[in-house]
Amino acid sequence: MIESYLKGFEQLASNGGSAAPDWARSLRLSAITRFEALGFPTTKNEDWHFTSVAPIAEREFDLLAPPAHRVTAAQLEPLTFGATDWHTLVFVNGRYDASLSSTKGLPDGVTLVPLTRAYEELPLLVEQYLGKVAAYEGQTFTALNTAFLDDGAVLHVGREVEVARPIHLLFVSDPSAGAGTSQPHNLIVLDRSAKATVIESYAGLGDGAYFTNVVTEVVVGDGATLTHLKLQRESAQAYHVGTVDVRQARDSHLVQFSFATGAALSRTNIYTELRGEGCGATLNGLYLGDGEQHIDHQTRIEHVEPNCYSREHYKGILDGSAHGVFNGKVFVHPAAQKTDGKQTNNTLLLSEKAQIDTKPQLEIFADDVKCTHGATVGRLDETSLFYMKSRGIDARTARELLTYAFAADVLETIEQVEVREALEAATLQRYTEH
Amino acid sequence: MSSSIETLVNREYAYGFVTDVETDTLPPGLSEAVVRLISGKKEEPAWLLEWRLRAYKRWLTMKEPHWPNVKYGPLDYQSQSYYSAPRSVKPLQSLDDVDPELLRTYEKLGIPLAEQKFLSGVAVDAIFDSVSVGTTMKEELKAHGIIFCSLGEAVREHPELVQKYLGSVVPHSDNFFAALNAAVFSDGSFVYVPKGVRCPMELSTYFRINSEGTGQFERTLIVADEGSYVSYLEGCTAPKRSTSQLHAAVVELVALKDATIKYSTVQNWYAGDKEGQGGIYNFVTKRGKCVGANSKISWTQVETGSAITWKYPSVILQGDNSTGEFYSVAVVNNRQQADTGTKMIHIGRNTKSNIVSKGISAGHGQNSYRGQVKVMPKAVGARNYTQCDSMLVGNECGAHTFPYIEVGNNTAQVEHEASTSKIGEDQIFYLKQRGLSAEQAVSMIVSGFCKEVFKELPMEFALEAQQLLGITLEGSVG
């Protein structure tokens, strides 16, 4: 329902978002025009071939209002990994909640503020990057998000500053969220040789059929290292479309992990452009689906300059009638000699009705490169099961252990201890009977 | 690029000559009248004309597809002729009556048609522009009950078989180029192997485009009845011309219970010159259907020619325990573009498919592998293994891989592997210090790279393919 968004846009333009600077308002205007022109993608669009967004396109979502009842810290507890000393910004229904957030102890040279304050505190930075990294010209959902540019997190880490503790951006939709939508827009900028870990969490506190459409723009400066985790644990009825778009400069590193388990329909886009020599990008992910869930991942790694490497490993476990989609693109530009790229996607189908469509893609225009990709789909390996049984492990335990081990293999790559252990524990619990 | 790699790619296209024969060519243009005229020239029965007209009407409503990863200017379907035949060809003549000029043409191509000279063990159907000029070894095949003739002849002699199977694998409405083919197809080969017969020799069709401004639209239909076996080869060449010519063929294979069909192609259409002028646009629909249980269809292709290649030999694995195979070597040099691969559709239980694709890109060539492996929800125990490797020679070419893996059954086991690499300087250096020239070194590395596919080709073809590969890559290395 494009019309309802157009109506919502007019409301936003006339009140809520009117505090934004002129350039932001004109950005919104051109984005809504683009959104209207693009419309929602159909399955004829190659990028959406296996994912129908009809459930989103056919519903009317109003922009979410602030929650009726205050969300309490206790409600957020299951989502915060027991960590008390992280720098946290909490957004409820897409709006910043200062009472739940804490940024104390941030090192000098680091700014972590909601977008509304960034307009005042980092005016040049936001004007320079907002809407520029994640191009919306060809992307309906990015255009839609940019049109409703109003709130979100802005992080700036200055030159050579290392943020020791993780920064947690927590986006929750409260039980009253119903059929509303939130459109958070984040910006992460790491200056030269800076280092930080950012965790983006999306979760539902109720079971509403709300729609979260998020865009995160990331700029990693020369020699900087960003560890970025995106954890999607939305409510079972929800819809989630999330795009992380990264630009990497010379000798920078991105270590990204995407964990997706929630939402009835979710689509995660992880894009990175290696725009300098000597960059590294590691993109890993795990998707766990059951019931009628539809979980889609699209990744794109653009090797623009020589001597960069990329590593990608996505795994999925699908049960019930869940439908998984993986589309991984590795694009090597003509100048990107000595590129070393590796991409793997493994999916485990636990039930007869689960299905997966996987499309690993290589597009290579340089000759001196080493690129491989691989994909496997199947159920648990009979020989492994037999081996374990021959060692005295009963069939059920063997099955559970192998399922867990399949997922743990990629969870182990998460460096952040609290997150890794929590996700491992949750996965173990999910696939063992108790 | 190293000097050693660069010297390897510049021999002339050896089959670029033109045969001067008087032809009966329809004026350019396509209309219902042209479809009727082609059908009339071939004295076809009413059902076939009707089928053609249905296809033509369907084609008018379809749009030319542009999703392949290839670029070319707009095609004008009204500026080419849809039928061209050497005037001397009369239906059903014996080989002795064949115009000596045509016989000489085939001899020049290395395909002698005169029986006594012919390489024993291979029967050939020679197709010149739009018609078949002769089929060898017919009598001997007849003794086994095998029908091997031009499709036109089959329509007259065995209408019941043709009517039963024509369009059963690639329907007239399948895609834009298949519909065009169904409307205007001129000739092609027809093979029927009866129950339990193992075809004693290789069957082969040699396609030659000669006339200018014509397209070639042949249609091949191979039916292997229960428990039979047939191995079929296809070769093709065309003269050098500065304008592009369209080749939109359709191949249908039908394998009934326990039958095996092996289909090998060495495609060497004229590829255009270094700047990409001329050459054949090879837009082909090839598909096999394993109808019965335990049947097997195996595609092997060596694609070295054509300005643009756009084809996906596929297998529909309908019968239980049926097997589909696809082995491919695709080489692009200069301005050639190839978007090729396969589709394996698993429908029956315990169906297996195996895909090995080797792509070599040189010069400004662009090579894409596009493949689909689809496991339907009922296809219990399906198994697929896919391997596609690309090799890049030079830094102005491209290699692309677009696999689509769609699995709807959890008992399926699907594996896909792909890699891209270049010929290493160290490999060449090693072979050179063993006394090989740079050119020999590269050709040795390339043939090692393609070995898994070449070993699937019948012996005579394997040699030819090896040589062709050398020719195509010549000058790209040095």
Quote the minimal CA–CA distance from A383 to chain B in Å: 14
Quote the minimal CA–CA distance from B100 to chain A in Å: 48
Question: pLDDT at position B476, please?
Answer: 57
How many A-B residue pairs are in contact by the CB < 8 A criterion?
116
Is A365 within 8 Å of B398 when comparing Cβ atoms? Answer: yes
Is A367 within 8 Å of B405 when comparing Cβ atoms? Answer: no
Q: Which of A290, A325, A340, A362 to mutate to test the interface with B (most CBs of B within 10 A)?
A: A362
* B374 → chain A, closest CA residue: A357
Is A378 within 8 Å of B414 when comparing Cβ atoms? Answer: yes
For residues A217-235, average pLDDT: 96
> Pick the residue with more confidence: B425 or A44?
A44
pLDDT higher than threshold 90 for residue A261: yes
B chain contacts of residue A343, beta-carbon cutoff 8 Å: none
Q: What are the start-end ranges of the E strands in B291-428?
A: 296-303, 308-311, 314-317, 323-332, 337-340, 343-346, 352-362, 366-375, 383-393, 398-407, 413-422
* A377 → chain B, closest CA residue: B414
User: In whole angstroms, how far apart are CA A157 and each of A102, A196, B46, B406, B443?
Assistant: 17, 8, 78, 43, 54
Cα within 13 Å of Cα(B435), Cβ side: 0
A chain contacts of residue B6, beta-carbon cutoff 8 Å: none
A chain contacts of residue B414, beta-carbon cutoff 8 Å: 375-378
Q: Round to whole Å and give the CA distance between A252 and A336.
A: 16
Question: pLDDT at position A368, please?
Answer: 85
Question: pLDDT at position B116, please?
Answer: 41
| Residue B293 and residue B317 in contact, taking contact as beta carbons nearer than 8 Å | no
Question: pLDDT at position B91, please?
Answer: 46
Quote the minimal CA–CA distance from B361 to chain A in Å: 9
Q: What are the start-end ranges of the E strands in B363-446?
A: 366-375, 383-393, 398-407, 413-422
Q: Round to whole Å and give the CA distance between A179 and A238.
A: 9
- pLDDT, tens only, B115-169: 444 444 566 777 766 666 667 777 788 888 999 888 888 998 899 999 999 999 9
- pLDDT, tens only, B328-375: 989 888 888 999 999 999 999 999 999 999 998 888 889 999 999 999
Question: pLDDT at position B369, please?
Answer: 92
> Pick the residue with more confidence: B113 or B278?
B278
Tell me, rounded to whole angstroms, the distance of Cα A393 from its chain centroid: 38
Relative to beta strand A110-114, strand A153-157 is antiparallel
Question: pLDDT at position B394, please?
Answer: 78
Question: pLDDT at position B225, please?
Answer: 95
Q: Round to whole Å and give the CA distance between B166 and A395.
A: 52
Residue from the list B394, B414, B418 with its beta carbon closest to the beta carbon of A362? B418
pLDDT bracket for residue B196 (50, 70, 90): very high
Quote the minimal CA–CA distance from A314 to chain B in Å: 14
Quote the minimal CA–CA distance from A335 to chain B in Å: 9
**What are the phi and psi torsion angles at A305 (to 5°)?**
-120, 160
Question: pLDDT at position B240, please?
Answer: 72
What CA dihedral angle connects A232, A234, A236 and A240, to 10 degrees? -80
A chain contacts of residue B372, beta-carbon cutoff 8 Å: none
Q: Round to whole Å and give the CA distance between B115 and B128.
A: 18
Is A375 within 8 Å of B390 when comparing Cβ atoms? Answer: no
Quote the minimal CA–CA distance from B398 to chain A in Å: 4
pLDDT higher than threshold 80 for residue B106: no
Q: What is the mean pLDDT of chain B?
A: 82
Residue from the list B1, B392, B416 with its beta carbon closest to the beta carbon of A374? B416
Question: pLDDT at position B88, please?
Answer: 56
pLDDT bracket for residue A69 (50, 70, 90): confident
- pLDDT, tens only, A327-362: 999 999 989 999 999 999 999 999 989 999 999 988
Q: Round to whole Å and give the CA distance between B93 and B156.
A: 14
- pLDDT, tens only, A353-392: 999 999 998 899 888 888 898 899 999 988 999 999 999 9
Other C-beta atoms within 10 Å of B37: how many? 15
Identity of residue B322: S
Percent of chain A with pLDDT over 70: 99
pLDDT bracket for residue B79 (50, 70, 90): confident
- pLDDT, tens only, B230-283: 998 887 776 677 777 888 889 999 999 999 999 988 888 887 777 778 888 889
Closest CA to A216 of A272, A177, A264: A272
Instruction: Specify the residue for token string 């939709």.
Output: A173
Question: pLDDT at position B374, please?
Answer: 94
Rg (CA), chain B: 22
Burial of A380 (0-12, 13-18, 19+ CB in 10 A): middle
B chain contacts of residue A371, beta-carbon cutoff 8 Å: 419-421
Angle at B35 between CA B34 and CA B41, to 5 degrees: 85
Classified as helix, coil or strand, A85 is coil
pTM: 0.85
**What are the phi and psi torsion angles at A180 (to 5°)?**
-100, 175
Angle at B394 between CA B388 and CA B398, to 5 degrees: 45
Question: pLDDT at position B305, please?
Answer: 82
* B379 → chain A, closest CA residue: A352
Domain ranges of chain B: 10-423
Percent of chain A with pLDDT over 90: 77
Is B398 within 8 Å of A357 when comparing Cβ atoms? Answer: no
Q: Which of A46, A48, A50, A367 to mutate to test the interface with B (most CBs of B within 10 A)?
A: A367
Instruction: Specify the residue for token string 């929750």.
Output: A172
Cα within 13 Å of Cα(A33), Cβ side: 6
Question: pLDDT at position B466, please?
Answer: 72
pLDDT higher than threshold 80 for residue A321: yes
> Pick the residue with more confidence: B414 or A175?
B414
Quote the minimal CA–CA distance from A192 to chain B in Å: 32
Question: pLDDT at position A23, please?
Answer: 92
Residue from the list B400, B410, B414 with its beta carbon closest to the beta carbon of A352? B410
Question: pLDDT at position B119, please?
Answer: 47
| Residue B54 and residue B172 in contact, taking contact as beta carbons nearer than 8 Å | yes
- pLDDT, tens only, B199-241: 888 888 877 777 777 778 889 999 999 999 999 888 777 667 7
Q: What is the mean pLDDT of chain A?
A: 92
Question: pLDDT at position B126, please?
Answer: 73
User: In whole angstroms, how far apart are CA A263 and each of A182, A235, A283, A291, A316?
Assistant: 14, 5, 22, 11, 15
Which contiguous run of DSSP H or E holds residue A345?
strand A340-349
Greatest alpha-carbon pair distance for chain B in Å reads: 69
Is B416 within 8 Å of A350 when comparing Cβ atoms? Answer: no
Is A369 within 8 Å of B416 when comparing Cβ atoms? Answer: no
pLDDT higher than threshold 80 for residue A199: yes
